[in-house]
Structure 1
Amino acid sequence: MEIRQLQCFYETAKWNSFTKAAEILYIAQPAVSIAIKKLETELGVILFHRHDRAVRLTVEGERFFVHVQKIFDQLEEARLEMAELCGLERGEVKLGLPSMMGSYYFPNIIVAFKKTYPNLRISIVEDGTKQIQASIEKDQIDLGVVILDDSTTELEAIPIINEEMVVCVPFNHPLASKGSITYEQLAKEPLVLFKEGYFQRDLVINHIQELGLIPNIAFETNQISLTKSLTRKGLGVTLFLKMVIQDDADFVPLSLTPPITLSLGLAWKKKTYLSKANEAFVDFVLHKKWI
């Protein structure tokens, strides 16, 4: 069953005329008759009563017309929806963000993007960078912020920021005046960390364990506000990207020795289709259109 056969049937049924159908479809009248005859043979039913030049639907033809009408309605809906998507009148960006980026870097981008494309939806999936990367590779999300390193070979990515990861201590902490901290010193401190799968936790634990030391984890939470509150009250020290506390007068940032600088980027799976909405978001971030 071919679309052309359905078009011939539809127009003939609509106008009760092979000749009129041929005119509308810009083909010869015998071609219309042949297409319908092939369709009847394939279906095993007679679709039209033929009386000289007049034609009308049989009972079977009337039922078939209902289905063909639905097919062409759906095709038109599909055409209109694709046109809307191309014009960015509809669509969704499903974006994976780690907590720190979601709270301190992307809000301005999201607000500016929504002002530019008010009809597009943005859904945020908050997770650790490892889980975000895995979700992209499994086609569960299209875009996400990940750490750019040797593990991202299956992804396309555009760099976003290079940011130092610093140890955050209250002003009254004994190390607050030092300006930096070694991993040996950090291993002795009680730590307030994110849960497994977040780069903040993985980085500090891996570095401490490489020295043959055991990290002292005092508390685990993925909530930045709670992490700050517990650190401020002296439960332990924590680590943030420097931008997270740049406007927070309650904390002193200490550089690690040697320092940790993270390269973060917006990533998507290689050789995969990106919707027009996702393409628009990538372009928006790439060209820093929110600034």
Structure 2
Amino acid sequence: MDLRNLRYFLTVAEQGGFTAAAEQLHIAQPAVSMAIRKLEQQLGLPLFDRQERRIRLTDEGEVLLRHARIILQAVNDAERDMRELHTLERGEVRVGIPSMLGSYYFPPILMAFRHHYPGVRLEVIEAGTRKLQQMIHQGEIDMGVIVCDTPPEDLETHCFLHAQMMAILPADHALAQARTITYDAFFTEELVLFKEGYFHREVIDRISREAGVTPRIGFEANLIPLIKQIVSHGYGISTLLEMVVADDPGLVAVPFSPAVWLELSLAWRKGHRLSRANQTFVDLVLQHAERDHNR
């Protein structure tokens, strides 16, 4: 069924005549009459009783009128939704971010996205990178942040941050003024670490295995303010990104020797076409990363 002919039919029915409908549609009256005849021929049913001076709908036309209103309203709604999505007046982004980056790297990005696209619903889920990969596979989130040392073959990845993992010490620690800290020296200390499943914990577990040592873990916590408090009071040392302690005079970030670098990427299912809202979010993250790199 031709939607244009259906629109003409609805207009004739609502205006009560072909001439009035033509004026409403801003087309010639014969074009309206021809469209209605084609619709009647296609359906094999009369839609208007033309015997009287003012045309009226037949019983068949009354039935079609009810459907025409529903169909055309649905089409109008779909067209409006597509326009809004195209201009990002609507949409949804579901992104998973580990707590460290969610607290110290992503806030300006999230606020900028919200400022530019207030109609887009932005949902941020906090979890470790392994959990986020699982959520991507299960369709619970559109994308997530992962460590891209060995990119999963079934995920599309775009690196946005090349960051150094640092040993975090209280300012009065004996090694606080050292230029670097060896793995052996680090593992002789009591440690305050994130729980398993978070990227920085996985790196420490890997390094300890390679070094053949068992870490002395005094505290396990995923709350960054708590970790910083524990370290600053001298109850252990930890590992964080330098950005986390940049404004904390009670803590010092010391590079490892050899250095530990992390490649952090946004990831989503390979072969899955991102929505316009999601692609715009990815573009914003990558633009932010490029600006930081060029500073």
TM-score range, shorter chain: 0.7 to 0.9
**Are 1:91 and 2:95 counterparts?**
no
Cα 1:122–1:241 shift into 2, 3 Å:
same
In structure 2, C-alpha distance between the alignment counterparts of 1:6 and 1:119, rounded to whole Å: 33
Aligned in 2, Cα 1:2/1:190: closer, same or farther, shift over 3 Å?
farther
The match for 1:121 is 121
In structure 1, how many angstroms separate the alpha carbons of the residues matched to 2:7 and 2:62? 15
Say if 2:144 is the partner of 1:144. yes
Q: Which amino acid aligns with 1:264?
A: L
Cα 1:113–1:30 change in 2 (3 A) is: closer
Secondary structure at the aligned position of 2:236 is classed as: coil
Q: Which residue of 2 aligns with 1:245?
A: 245
| Cα distance in structure 1, aligned partners of 2:64 and 2:233 | 74
**Inter-CA distance 80–25: structure 2 relative to 1 (3 Å threshold):** farther
Question: What percentage of aligned pairs have identical amino acids?
Answer: 39
Q: SS in structure 2 opposite 1:249?
A: coil
**Structure 1 gap ranges (5+):** none
TM-score in terms of structure 1 length: 0.82
- Greater Cα offset, 183-192 or 156-165: 183-192
Q: Deviations over 1:41-98 (max 9, x none)?
A: 7xxxx76556489753344543442232122112112211211221222223322211
Residue equivalent to 1:200: 200
**What is the deviation of 1:6?**
4.3
Aligned to 2:196, the other structure's residue is in SS state coil
Between 197-206 and 168-177, report the one with greater CA deviation: 168-177
**How many residues are matched?**
287
What one-letter code is carried by the residue in structure 2 that aligns with 1:125? I
- Mapped to 1, the partners of 2:180 and 2:38 lie a distance apart of 85
Give structure 2 stretches of 5+ with no counterpart. Answer: none
Mapped partners of 1:154, 1:217: distance in 2: 34
Secondary structure of 1:112 counterpart: helix
Aligned position for 2:228? 228
Contact between 1:161 and 1:263, CA under 8 Å: does it hold in 2?
yes
* 1:66 paired to 2:70: no
1:192 corresponds to which letter in structure 2? V
CA separation of 1:35/1:174 partners in 2, compared to 1, >3 Å: closer, same or farther? same
Separation in 1, partners of 2:190, 2:55 = 88
What residue in structure 1 maps to residue 39 of structure 2?
Answer: 35
TM-score normalized by structure 2? 0.81
In 2: Cα distance, 1:103 partner to 1:224 partner = 9
RMSD between aligned alpha carbons?
3.2
State the secondary structure of the residue aligned to 1:200: helix
- Matched residue, 2:269: 269
